[in-house]
Amino acid sequence: MTDTNPSMGAIVHCDVLVVGAGFSGMSMLYRLRKAGFAAKVFESGGDFGGVWYWNRYPGARVDSEWPYYQLNIPEAYRDWEFTEKFPGHKEIRAYCAHVDKVLNLRKDVQFNAHVVDARWSKTDETWTVKTEQGHIAQSKYLILCTGLLHRRHIPDFPGLTTYKGILHHTGFWPEDMSVKGKKVAVIGAGATAVQVVQELAKTADQLTVFMRRPSLCLPMGQRPLSPEEQKSWKTYFQALFREGRQSMAGFPGTSEPCGVFDVSDEERERHFEDIWARGGFNYLMVNYNDVVLSKEANQKVYNFWAKKMRQRIKDPKKQELMVPVEAPYYFGTKRCPLEQDYYEMLDRPNVDIINMNQNPLRTFNATGMLMEDGTQLDFDVVVLATGFDSFSGSLTQMGLKNKDGVDIKDVWKDGIRTYLGMTFNGFPNAFMVYTPHAPTALSNGPTIIEAQSDFILAAIEKLEKEGAKTIEPNRDAEDEWDSMIDAMNKHTLFPLTNSWWNASNIPGKKVQILTHPGGIQMYETQCRDTLGEWKGFTVVYKEGENGVVKENGLHASTEKSVEIPVPV
């Protein structure tokens, strides 16, 4: 329903407002509508896709293998076929358009609607959300599907604004741009840099990669998919997706039930060779069970990886930079990008690699970069593959206020706090998807998205059935959840490596463990266990003559609060 207020413009009223129309927003909208809720979506981009709407740089593609990087919606996958095992960005956008067409999602989505203000009214007990373009919506529930890796991070490089050449962050790339015949610099060596370097090295006249720490990549194992193969496998999709939800990372399969040193050298080598040949994340997923628990076991895994990758780089200087004898960090404690011919491209004579630890950038200037050793390097194009303000970057830039009017960027100034990775104290009736304090960074995106979407829908349905007005996690529940994640990670090697996984890539941001290491199955079970008695939440109801009654929360008269302690 839409009301017209002359002083405010058109106001959209709905049960639930969703912010973001990527995989999370699409998944959430589909579920809410199917359950009978009036739901609307504000999306800052011009179409569906989320990160895939913005990520159009050369080589951008998923690193989750088919068939797992899609929504588990039969009416959507029934008539859709991918062309590759690891689809590229164009195909993902085409898939999103297909899902929209089949489910008719677009009628409930406002595109080009960049949220700049979202606040809770204690009087009306509703959320009012405004966009930069003038849209206004009011809803009882707010679901934030703003993405894990969306807010682009551009480091404060000295002199950057004086550079007169072409400058692009990978998260905002003009699709029609060619680097043929140009001198190109790529700053970064993470997952995005791996993909873009693979492509630019083939066309640029000269490509220089600036890196501080190499990525420990894994062979993608890319291949085309035939229509016949896909049709025959659709019979098993439901079983595969179900097993994915019962797994650690969203892909069926388990690690070996023993450690690296519990088998003979010959058996270990045989297993390493086997899972390496499978491609994708198999070298991590189905390796021995102590790879990220034991430094000694981790070293063995790294040594095998290094042996494989050194065979692909002939230049000894480049080999030492990208495949050092001493591991730059513990294997698997930072994202392992999937690559196709990355190491061969680095080995080309038109590609150079500069270690910025040994020769730092002094300043940018009009034509390029002046290095600390006095070398001037000129470029036609500079590519910033410098990553994203992960987990909270989008949330802290949208004017989101708590019930006392404090912006979330100030609420979280001393660190991100959540309960279950989906709710936060001070923000009634607010949920988020694809989030910190969940197994997100270690999971297949659609799988963890659907696990969280199902929980949020179940919570809202239960609240409405009980006649609840508001729900909000208790502060001690947040403390307990954060402490639990820290305790679980304490026994792993994850805390020993800095990356966007712990927010250390953003200057001034608190370095903290932001990933639940127990896997999707454990995480989802823990979340579901809170629903029965609302453990860790305060739920506010309206009392009537017959006890608790359903009420829309707009004109409450009598309230009672039920505070349930967090599970221990």
pLDDT digits (tens, 9 = 90+) for 27-57: 999 999 999 999 999 999 999 999 999 999 9
How much is the pLDDT for 265? 98
How much is the pLDDT for 559? 39
Question: At residue 542, what is the residue type?
Answer: K
Could you give phi then psi for residue 385, rounded to 5 degrees?
-95, 55
Pair 389, 146: CB distance under 8 Å: no
* Residue whose C-alpha is closest to residue 475's, from 529, 411, 401, 520: 411
How much is the pLDDT for 135? 97
The residue written with tokens 């936060």 in the block is 424
User: Is it the case that residue 551 has pLDDT exceeding 60?
Assistant: no
- SS3 state at 167: strand
Question: Which residues, at least 6 apart from 92, have a Cβ–Cβ distance to it below 8 Å?
Answer: 49, 52, 61, 62, 69
**How many other CB atoms sit within 10 Å of the CB of residue 271?**
17
Please state, in angstroms and rounded to a whole number, the distance separating the CA atoms of residues 16 and 431. 11
Please state, in angstroms and rounded to a whole number, the distance separating the CA atoms of residues 333 and 499. 9
Q: Provide the edge-to-edge strand list for the sheet that holds 376-378.
A: 361-364, 368-371, 376-378
Q: Is 440 left (phi over 0), alpha (psi -120 to 50) or beta?
A: alpha
**Percent of the chain with pLDDT strictly greater than 70:** 94
| For range 115-137, the mean pLDDT | 97
Could you give phi then psi for residue 261, rounded to 5 degrees?
-95, 10
Give the H or E element holding residue 430. strand 430-432
| For range 281-288, the mean pLDDT | 97
Which residues partner with 546 through β-bridges?
none
| 3-state class percentages of the chain: helix first, strand second, coil last, to nearest 5 | 30, 20, 45
DSSP letter string, 263-294: S-HHHHHHHHHHHHHT-TTHHHHTS-TTTTT-
Q: How does residue 312 score in pLDDT terms, banded at 50, 70 and 90?
A: very high
Could you give phi then psi for residue 471, rounded to 5 degrees?
-135, 145
0.85 cut: is pTM over it?
yes
In the chain, the domains with their CATH numbers are 2-48+105-151+390-563 (3.50.50.60), 167-384 (no CATH)
The three-state DSSP-derived secondary structure of 489-540 is: HHCCCHHHCCCHHHCCCCCCCCCCCCECCCCHHHHHHHHHCCCCCCCCEEEE
| For range 461-469, the mean pLDDT | 97
